[in-house]
Chains A and B, each alone.
Chain A
């Protein structure tokens, strides 16, 4: 690769690819060839840069100009103006209320971020081992193999305070020690890349954006515990991640980082990729091991823990992708450097996936201990469309919902647990006030019901019962005793389930009952859905005084339940309405309103309506 005057880093993470980054690359190359600039400009595919909402994004060096939402139609201007004449295009830069942010370090999204695991993501070409080595890659492995004993490696990780990033936050060094202590010639390391939590995509981005770092991390862990063989277990939904990690394994074999006598030491190691086939429960370590052995992914009772008896009944270390991504930096920079970041009990940084009703969705890495408020408003740019914050779901379907009074809570393992949420894998789903919390809880529970493997009764039957109750409530058939029943059932399922799925699946329901009890009660007692989401608890009304009588609503109504004429104006036959909102959308004068609560034609309500009118 020759040196060229301009490097264009084009984000080719899955987010940007889904927004058309590959077509953009093609067009850029065409344009560059057409203008004879092939010897001057480099187009480099990188991993995820973070702000997926801006996709496709790119950075142009040496200036470091950051462009967002680059469309195919922008390419000609971009090449002509910026690449040829050196005049960066302002309208493609990140702008927030008049302010223009030409480069990455000025953009508010990046301000509070501290990148350790994600350091190389978006900066290097993940399919080139040379670029990884150029950023100091495999140096940590070299140091470990040539200067340190396995026990020293475990000690440095212990001193750093690193805890598992997959969800539970178990101290990494302690897990390692268990495997290390087993006297067995055959041990295994598994990288858990079965990232199934809805709303979490850090593992995907790490595997796609910096696969060598994960491989290096796995080898450091393997050396520490005495394993000679490793498996990457990656979901089949992530084909690009699978491809990239396979390339990484091939390349490091060529360079001698995998195989016999690595760095001329006694350490030999080999790694393989295995894929899942669409089963959420396989993210649980014992289910994952069953799947790796070619079986249905059913979890088994612990103990014995995989550290004692795991894959093929041998001692097995299962570490999450993000955990492995932190290792090389800790080895190189030392335990003190790492433990200076974060809080007393939660050290280092954590990658979060910001999604939902936010201005800046995407992948961010911040020091532990940041408040929810800073994460949502400073990094995430606040709630989109100027709406109001209502709730945030942390930790996917196993986590809990928190509300506005919790915005000052520090993000660390213990603080979140205290409030009934959990760190989980780091998915942060932000919801604005147009969401109904009962409906949201039902939605998360539906996910867990579907993904329950069916092995143990509390999870299989208990979750289903909870779902049926919630479904009833959203349909306006809730009973006064339902809330107590839900809480009791939820606690039972949590206590008696075999694996983490059942033990945490009731959390969204329990936490929403805890913090949004009023909303549940509105549904049950008053048959009202304030957010106007639950179809059975809303109704539509046409303001006859303002109706033009055009009849468009009657024409478009799929249930044919709007009757009337130009003279008499139109009205809705409430009993036949399917609550599809079509009439509201088509009304040219906006006089059809969606109202909370079931339709009640009794005179009392009519009276109240007029009373409102004269207020």
Chain B
């Protein structure tokens, strides 16, 4: 199933993290399945337990299926000073989920992240690879609305 991805890399242990990124990105539900772990372990000739260890260590990898749009709200101090708590409250209200959960329609997962390095425009969040800064409750509403509309 993941042969195409695996073949892009030499079967060396050092490529594990790059492979995990690719595997996760290629999955529609944004996660790494047990089957994938097994296949990678065969290809790289390392134990599944090692791979599990790596996946659980890094916060960007997930064992659990996630939404099409992973929202990562920055929880670092510069964003906190500029009111990221209010943004979090707004997101939770709009999506009706808690941190780490996925909406029923499979559209959104809400996560927190360490500093995104866009502190000059705090508070900031990242949706998949796009960064949104200078967030206000109103702007958050528009952004979520836009994604919902496009999904229809």
Q: Which residues of A contact B (CB under 8 A)?
A: 14-15, 17-19, 51-53, 55, 195-201, 203-204, 236-239, 274-280, 291-297, 353-357, 361-363, 393, 397, 427, 429, 431, 435, 440, 443-444, 447, 451, 453
Contact = CB atoms under 8 A, between A and B. Distances in A.
Contacts of B81: 355-357, 429, 431, 435
B115 A198 contact: yes
Contact of B60 (A236, A291, A356, A363): A236
Contacts of A294: 12-17, 54
Contact of A355 (B17, B21, B119, B132): B119
B114 A280 contact: yes
A19 B54 CA distance: 35
Interface in B49-63: 50, 53-54, 57-61
B96 to A, nearest CB: 16
Contacts of B118: 14-15, 18, 52, 201
Contact of A52 (B77, B121, B132): B121
Contacts of A15: 118, 120-121, 133
B121 A237 contact: no
A429 B120 contact: no
Contacts of A274: 17-18
Contacts of B129: 239
Interface of B: 12-18, 20-21, 50, 53-54, 57-61, 76-78, 80-82, 113-122, 124, 126, 129, 131-134
Nearest to B89: A580
Nearest to B57: A296
15 contacts: A15-B118, A52-B118, A198-B76, A198-B77, A199-B119, A200-B119, A236-B21, A237-B114, A277-B17, A279-B57, A292-B14, A296-B53, A355-B78, A355-B122, A361-B121
A443 B84 CA distance: 13
Contact of B120 (A55, A295, A440, A453): A55
Given A294-B15, A429-B78, A443-B77, A196 B115 contact: yes
Nearest to A196: B114
B58 A52 contact: no
Contacts of B114: 196, 198, 237, 278, 280, 447, 451
Given A197-B115, A279-B59, A361 B77 contact: no
Contacts of B13: 293-295
Given A447-B76, A451-B114, A277 B134 contact: no
A353 B18 contact: no
Contact of A393 (B15, B54, B60, B77): B77
A275 B24 CA distance: 14
Contacts of A295: 13, 50, 54
Contacts of A296: 53-54, 57
Contacts of A276: 17, 58
A393 B80 CA distance: 14
A278 B113 contact: yes
Contacts of B12: 294
Contacts of B131: 14, 17-18
Nearest to B13: A294
A129 B29 CA distance: 38
B115 A200 contact: yes
Contacts of B77: 198-199, 356, 393, 397, 429, 440, 443-444, 447
A533 to B, nearest CB: 11
Of the listed residues B57, B58, B122, the one surrounded by the most CB atoms of chain A closer than 10 A to its CB is: B57
B18 A361 contact: no
Contacts of A362: 120
A407 to B, nearest CB: 19
Q: Which 5 A/B pairs are nearest by Cβ-Cβ distance?
A: A52-B120, A18-B133, A198-B76, A277-B58, A201-B117
Nearest to A231: B14
A275 B54 CA distance: 14
Contact of B119 (A17, A196, A353): A353
Given A294-B54, A429-B78, A431-B81, A19 B18 contact: no
Of the listed residues A200, A237, A291, the one surrounded by the most CB atoms of chain B closer than 10 A to its CB is: A237
A68 to B, nearest CB: 12
Contacts of B60: 236, 277-278
